[in-house]
Amino acid sequence: MNGFKKNITKSGVVYFSIPNFDNTGLVKSCFTSRVGGVSKDEYNSLNLGLKTCDKKENVINNYRLICEALDIPMSKLVCSDQVHGDNIKIVTEKDCGKGILKYSDIIGVDALITNIKNVALVTVYADCVPIFLLDPMKKVIALIHAGWRGTVSKIAKKVVKKMMEEFNSKPEECLAAIGPSIGKCCYEVDKGVIDKFNENFTNLDKFVISKGNNKYMLDLWEANKIVLKEIGILERNIIISGMCTMCNKEIFFSYRKANGITGRMAAIMELR
């Protein structure tokens, strides 16, 4: 749990915070586990995926539980609508509630940015990489959903660039955290995926290991670290949780481990 802290509430909800972020006094940060909710069977128990086949009332109750743990009103949540792309949305107060409590016009978006206090960004996961960004000087935050397609397109670099353009952020002043997701220990891909990385990366030897027979182990944590460093984030300011969702099935949902029928965790972050 490099740079991430495990928290257990009195009600039994387990989530992970980022002390380096929270200690700035500027944000509340969270990556949820699967532990402490009300969902049953494949979605046991803290499923936060409204697009799963779980009962909607269970998912809403799970959001209520994590919001109570974080002391964030549910009405302040803004959820993305992820499609493994690289679209970015700048969120304002008028977006509060979208995607969870009310209709959302945030469609096909894999990254959210805001500089507004008390607006809680939400992105959901079940193996893909959550990336948290904090600019403590300009007081801007972002959440990024980066599966292999988002990583290939260097979505994290595009988000930092957007923060630079819209809020005058300086990469060297920003903090980044790469949360729990499928690790290089478990993420086997075929040559077609690696060919896509070859189009945008020149240093595949740093995050790709060949197994032979056109099979490869892919390290999305290292790949996204490379992307963040390319745009100017300092290595000392990049935290990697080191927690593999597929290895830790008792703590996390894993899409690949469960053959696609499973719940979702959430990354949540709010400016205070």
**The predicted structure's pLDDT at residue 2:** 78
Query: How far is the C-alpha of 80 from the C-alpha of 123, rounded, in Å?
Result: 6
CATH architecture of structural domain 5-181+237-271:
4-Layer Sandwich (3.60)
Map out the domains of the chain as residue ranges: 5-181+237-271
Q: What is the pLDDT along the chain (272 residues), one digit of tens a residue?
A: 479 999 999 999 999 999 999 999 999 999 999 999 999 999 999 999 999 999 999 999 999 999 999 999 999 999 999 999 999 999 999 999 999 999 999 999 999 999 999 999 999 999 999 999 999 999 999 999 999 999 999 999 999 999 999 999 999 999 999 999 999 999 999 999 999 999 999 999 999 999 999 999 999 999 999 999 999 999 999 999 999 999 999 999 999 999 999 999 999 999 99
Burial of 133 (0-12, 13-18, 19+ CB in 10 A): buried
CA 43 and chain centroid, separation: 19
Query: How far is the C-alpha of 175 from the C-alpha of 103, rounded, in Å?
Result: 32
Query: How far is the C-alpha of 134 from the C-alpha of 19, rounded, in Å?
Result: 12
**The predicted structure's pLDDT at residue 54:** 98
Give residue for tokens 């290292």: 222
